[in-house]
Amino acid sequence: MSRFALLFALALFAVLPDAASACSVCYGGDEESRKAFLFTTVLLSLLPIGMIGALAWIVWRSAKAADGEGPGAPEPAARPLPHP
């Protein structure tokens, strides 16, 4: 792309800012739609973080159970009392 064409495109977008914001859904519509898009954006951003956290918790819990420290671990045997 020539330098002139690039400068022309930048000048055109500077003069016509509405043409530069091509997403009609993000910048238009009523307030309820914008809130819905914001909510789904937050939800879809937090979902993978929650899934990774849940997987880490499951691995941590199973590693703890394998070491004998978990809630399903057997109680240690009582030590015999020494004779006096």
Q: How far apart are CA 36 and CA 29, in angstroms?
A: 11
**What percentage of the chain's residues is helix, strand, coil (to nearest 5)?**
70, 0, 30
With cut-offs at 50, 70 and 90, classify the pLDDT of residue 78: low
User: Cα-atom radius of gyration of the chain, to the nearest Å?
Assistant: 30
- pLDDT tens per residue across span 10-47: 887 777 766 555 565 656 667 887 788 889 999 999 99
Nearest Cα neighbor of 22 from 13, 32, 9, 31 is: 13
Can you give the pTM of this predicted structure? 0.46
Beta strands in the chain (DSSP E): none
Q: How far apart are CA 68 and CA 66, in angstroms?
A: 5
